[in-house]
Structure 1
Amino acid sequence: MDELIKGIVAPFVDHPDDVRVVREQNNDEVTYILTVNKADMGKVIGKKGRMASAIRTVVHAAGLAHHEKATLTIRE
């Protein structure tokens, strides 16, 4: 899942080497924490949060395919 998130985010940011994904397991829920360069936050969030919402939707759907409840948090 980490590679999926990096594969989605890295192509459209200016600093792809700064893209990091950390996985945190809490009982039956998995939270992926995406960290990007401060200059790339606007690109990751997108207009009116549409890009962030789309990435979260993909992560949630991929989590369901692996029988886990997956969420995404974005940090700079």
Structure 2
Amino acid sequence: MADDDAERTVEVELHGGPLDGWRVPVAAVDDDPWTAIVSDYGRYPGGRSLYAPDESGRWVWVRDLRWEEL
């Protein structure tokens, strides 16, 4: 992987969960196929909302995490 690829981000739209409709940057190339976003809107305010791409590449809500769970 080239250094440029490691630093490149793309903007994705989140679907479902507390951040539905938000657009966020994610790494274009990443070993972890998900993102955990600090959120006051999920089940655990101040925790994180976990999103991952589905089979079609659409970023969907997986679950909310307490701050210390990640």
TM-score of the pair, normalised by structure 2: 0.26
Structure with greater helix share of residues: 1
TM-score of the pair, normalised by structure 1: 0.25
Structure with greater strand share of residues: 2
Q: Using CA pairs below 8 Å that are at least 6 residues apart, which structure has the higher relative contact order?
A: 1
State which structure, 1 or 2, has the greater radius of gyration over its C-alpha atoms: 2
